[in-house]
Amino acid sequence: MSQVVVPDIGDFEDVEVIEVLVKPGDSVSKEQSLITLESDKATMEIPSPAAGVVKELKIKTGDKVSKGSPILELEAKDDAPKPQPAKAPAPEKPPAQPEKPPAGGEAQTIPVPDIGDFKEVEVIELLVKPGDAVTKEQSLVTLESDKATMEIPSPAAGVVKELKLKVGDRVSKGSPILLLEPGGEAAEKPVEKPAPQAAPKAAAKPAPAPAPAPARAEPHAQSGAKPHASPSVRKFARELGVALERVQGSGPKGRILHSDVQAFVKGALETGAPPATAKGGGLPFDLPAWPDVDFAKFGPIEKKPLSRIQKLSGPYLHRNWISIPHITQFDEADITDLEAFRKAQGAETEKRGFKLTMLAFMIKACVTALRQFPQFNASLEPGGASVIFKKYYHIGVAVDTPGGLVVPVVRDADRKGVFDLAQELAGISKLARDGKLKAADLQGGTFSISSLGGIGGTAFTPIINAPEVAILGVSRAVIRPVWNGHEFMPRLMLPLSLSYDHRVIDGATAARFTTYLVSVLSDIRKSLL
């Protein structure tokens, strides 16, 4: 058993504990963050000096600590070395006194000051641009390592002439930040930052010191407000694609915690519909702007307008893709016997004036599977609190037309035989290609099928046709050697791709659905059961 203490954190004293990242009973690895400290100039995560199990916490959120303050009791693992106080992974050295700017109008290069042992730290934000007037101590850039977030202040007032770095660059002590031209007006400009708390000793020096984002209690939705979060929380949010500006912090001074990011994502998934104020097509975070490129400067181009169907369906496809968590289950069915039966019935259907296609059998097989797995014949309530199970079976069928893709609906497919379905498919396909479908022909579907078997391909991911929760993609069947337990036999295998809404259907259920569907297609007599 050993006691883990706050290591050397430079001249910082009485630094507030803003987040405790472990609890008694937790197993921690070496260098895993234990607590987060924050002064008015830096945010620091204190790592564990060894692997082990947390036996007792010695501090709580809101406590003030300094070098040597006890953090917790750690029971080290047998193979772990005896824990020793670790050097703080945070800006700890007070930077050297900067040179005073030239008395005249000559521009000076502002470098990255002494930031302790940190090297190759990433630039995550530029806070000024050429032409901006800055005041002394005004933040210029924000740097972030895996353990600390720092804002680099200006050592003097002036006007930014040129930036020497960009977001994503990695910098160390001495790396140039920008060219600053001294200016009298900038010195009189008030600093647009919240009043800092009582600063540690290093802050009293007019030196470029690492400084994190200022703590702001106001909601992040306000213009100019910066999210208040530790480096680990920022990394966590980036991995989930969440803009911290949209997350309301529950920690001290409005700080965003891991739990706040998790709650935000959970809420966005449960509601199903993001807030109306969200950007990026209704996402709970912002998307980068669409690139505006002049393609003509690279070579000859030709511009053609989208078809009417493409213009109408495009926004709906985009909405469905970004608002429904799509998962695709792939499988293949042995349709050797089914194809032989279809061809045998071809002469009979030709006498009646229509063609018996594999799609008619697919519809019949899907209805049989939907009866067995009713969650696929359902819709999620707009609020996301309930699932609506439908007692009717209207199957949408994607039809390729000269103007684009349309999905007419075959109603009451469960009450029709294969010949009836084939005849109806021939009729609605012709209406679709001729552009004569009515609005009612495209409504009320409970499950959709998109078949590209007549064109080609081995597999694809179809987009769910909301408010449905699943769609089946069918690719081209191919003859492959299949082992039957004794020998390889040539069998006609049909690739299937089932896209489903993961909010309603889990992976195990989807696998059972496709497995059952495959068994029905392998023996179509099961559709009669």
214-263 tens-digit pLDDT:
333 334 444 444 677 777 787 778 777 788 888 888 876 677 888 888 88
513-524 tens-digit pLDDT:
999 999 999 998
Catalytic residue (choose from 220, 228, 326, 502):
502
- Structure-block tokens of residue 518: 């495959």
What number of other Cβ atoms are within 10 A of residue 424's Cβ? Answer: 19
Which of 11-15, 87-91, 209-213, 334-338 is modeled with the greatest confidence? Answer: 334-338
Q: Is the pLDDT of residue 24 over 70?
A: yes
Domains and CATH numbers, the chain: 2-76 (2.40.50.100), 108-186 (2.40.50.100), 224-303 (4.10.320.10), 309-528 (3.30.559.10)
- Structure-block tokens of residue 29: 């690895």
273-310 tens-digit pLDDT:
443 333 444 555 566 778 889 999 999 999 998 888 88
318 is catalytic: no
CA-to-CA distance for 408 and 348, rounded, in angstroms? 26
Residue closest to 467 by CA, chosen among 319, 314, 282, 303: 319
CA-to-CA distance for 64 and 43, rounded, in angstroms? 14
CA-to-CA distance for 436 and 253, rounded, in angstroms? 62
- Structure-block tokens of residue 368: 């049989």
CA-to-CA distance for 381 and 467, rounded, in angstroms? 9
**What predicted TM-score, i.e. pTM, was given to this entire model?**
0.50
Residue closest to 4 by CA, chosen among 82, 91, 93, 89: 82
Give the per-residue pLDDT at 78: 56
Mean per-residue pLDDT, 399-426: 93
CA-to-CA distance for 373 and 358, rounded, in angstroms? 22
